A and B are shown apart, each in its own frame.
Chain A
Amino acid sequence: MACVVVRNLWKKYKNNVIALRGVNFTVKEERLIILAGPNGSGKTTLIRIMDGELSPTRGYVKIEGLSPDEARLKGLFGVMPQEARLYEYLSVREYLYYLALIKGLSRSDARREVNRIIDDFMLSEYADTRIEYLSGGFKRRVLLAQAFIGSPPLVFLDEPTVGLDPEMRVKLWDIIIKYLRENNATAFLVTHYLDEVKEYADRVLVLFRGKLIFDGSPRKLLDVLGYKYRVLVKVTDRCVKVLFSSFNFNDRGNELELYVKNEVELLGVLKIARENEDKVMEVTIKRPSLEESYLRVIGVGKSS
């Protein structure tokens, strides 16, 4: 897996906007790293510095011990930029073929690679169609596919599935994860669909106003909430609420939202509910989502 070192990274744009404020992290063993944060938090700037498009104002990035420019010239990474358009007058095959040549492949290898990419990303149906005639979703897939040309050990994917339908998003996550596993590669992934990739992610980096405010595993991010289960208890008699007073809860009239730390507490809640089943209408147990944890982290970031 690729080694990426980011040290004291600052970026101040010409208009004096400070996009990054002393970001530090090292990636060595992780396969999928999620970059999260609200709009304007510096995610794309961070990706663009790591892939060599932008110079940092201060600090540095090393990819396998090389500067981003050196790593780029060695073809160590692939990039799917956010919102980039394609050369619409080319067919999908032509576009990928020329990019494969630019990536440094020979003509025959480029042809083989393009066929592989077209198959992997389910583009066969429109491989020889001009890109301008493709739907937005297909164009997005072509843009994503080109990042994987030449099987780079590192990929930067800036919101790869935005605007795609849920079914296609699931398919593309599967393709990306399969690629990472088969090639022992690493991916930095900017996404707002945290829960869709939480089971595959090894690490989550949350940026807020240019600062790295969270760095840890998805489990650690979930721990930020301080509870493992959210239990919704619908009651017919409000008096029963007092029985749950030992738990951390949110009173919503005829419904209680309990924040349960572990399985022992959960059993306690269920026991009370069973003992008072004439007064308890319904119990719903929910696992908190990564998005909830993320929002909590952002909330803490805002208040600090």
Chain B
Amino acid sequence: MLVSLLRVYALGMMYAKWMLKNKLFYLYLTLFMPFTILVPFYLLVSAPYRSYVAIGTIVLTIFSNSLVTASQDIAVDKIMKRIAVIITKPITSTEYFLGLTISNAMQAFPAVIISILVLISIGILKIYDVAFLTVGLLAAWYVSTAIGFIIGILLSNRDYHTVVLVGNIVSFILVFLAPIYYPPSNLPEPLRTLTLILPSLHVANLIGRSCNVEYGIEVNTSTIYVLALALILTIVIAKKIRLKDIY
């Protein structure tokens, strides 16, 4: 097998344990963070847009969490030089990335699930298609962690602040420049087409499709886009990202 699942699991646990052992942070991420974002947005917007706000917050939670966490994890490990212990073990860049994906999923999964359940119970979201929801969520985790991993590794040396800044900027662009919190039809035309390149929009479209929320994009287009992007990022990580000369 090209990837050792045990290695992926071990690495995922090494990173996730911090969050799992710090109950307060975990509670914050699980319950508090999504709702501190959701409530003001919810109060500010009118009823037709509330489903968009709900989906936007789910995408924001996953993207900001996974992308920024992955890049920060690597940046911190570079500063503390503890990455040396990992990258001198028989681990590939793909296994390292998948380990971080699992870690991120373990950390953000309860938050997202609880958010969705609450949103369903208060009637903001109605799930019609669990398959689309699952694909959308998995794609969000995978793509955002991959981007964060590449940022963390490629921004070489030990400049933690640069890595954090770049991670936050990319995460911000993906979540707030994409028409996720509102229908894309609200954007003027050249911008609307331009935002089609943002993966967060396609992830939102897949999740939206599971709740009958329209983003004006064919579901096949988003599925193909997300799968192709995931494939490209996987190939880039496997073939181009070397666990070498990174600090």
- The yes or no answer to A101 lying at the interface (CB within 8 A) is yes
Whether A53 touches B88, Cβ cut-off 8 Å, given contacts A85-B80, A87-B82, is: yes
Q: Would B91 and A81 count as touching, CB distance under 8 A?
A: no
- A98 and B13 form a contact (CB under 8 A): yes
- Quick one: CB contact mask for B217-234 with A, threshold 8 Å, 1 for yes? 000000000000000000
- Counting chain A CB atoms within 10 Å of each CB, which of B11, B81, B89 scores highest? B89
A102:B22 contact, CB within 8 angstroms: no
Residue in A73, A89, A104, A107 whose beta carbon sits within 8 Å of that of B17 in the complex: A89
Cβ contacts A to B, 16 pairs, < 8 Å: A51-B88, A52-B87, A53-B87, A54-B244, A54-B245, A75-B89, A81-B84, A84-B84, A87-B17, A87-B18, A94-B17, A97-B10, A99-B85, A101-B10, A104-B4, A104-B7
Add 4 more A-B contacts to A101-B7, A104-B90 (CB < 8 A).
A72-B90, A84-B80, A98-B13, A104-B4
**CB closest residue in chain B, given A75:** B90
The complex places the Cα of A44 from the Cα of B11 at a distance, in Å, of 26
Judge whether A86 is part of the interface by a CB distance below 8 angstroms. Answer: yes
Question: Number of A interface residues, CB 8 Å?
Answer: 35
Would A99 and B89 be within 8 Å (CB), given that A52-B244, A87-B82, A89-B17 are in contact? yes
Contacts of A85 in B (CB 8 A): 80-82
Q: Does B71 contact A (CB under 8 A)?
A: no
Which residues from 130 to 184 on chain B have a C-beta closer than 8 Å to any C-beta of chain A?
none
A53 lies within 8 A of B244 (CB): yes
**Min C-beta distance of B64 to chain A, whole Å:** 22
B19 to chain A, nearest CB (A): 9
Residues of A within 8 A of B22 (CB): 89
State whether the Cβ of B6 lies closer than 8 Å to any Cβ in chain A: yes
Is the C-beta of A220 less than 8 angstroms from some C-beta in chain B? no
Output the nearest chain A residue to B80 by Cβ-Cβ distance. Answer: A85
Contact B84 A102 (CB under 8 A): no
How many residues on B have C-beta within 8 angstroms of the other chain's C-beta atoms?
A: 27
Q: How far is the CA of A75 from the CA of B89 in the complex (A)?
A: 7
**Interface flag for A69 (CB, 8 Å):** yes
Cα–Cα, bound, A104→B95 (Å)? 12
A144 vs B38: C-alpha distance in the bound complex, in angstroms?
Answer: 47
Closest to B89 in A: A102
CB under 8 Å from chain A, chain B span 54-93: 80-82, 84-92
- How far apart are the CA atoms of A104 and B80 in the complex, in Å? 24
Interface string of A73-107 (1 = CB under 8 A from B): 11101110111111101100011011101111011
A4 shortest CB reach to chain B, Å: 15
Contact B7 A89 (CB under 8 A): no
CB distance from B67 to the nearest CB of A (A): 22
Q: Does B109 contact A (CB under 8 A)?
A: no
The answer to whether A103 touches B90, judged by C-beta atoms less than 8 angstroms apart, is yes
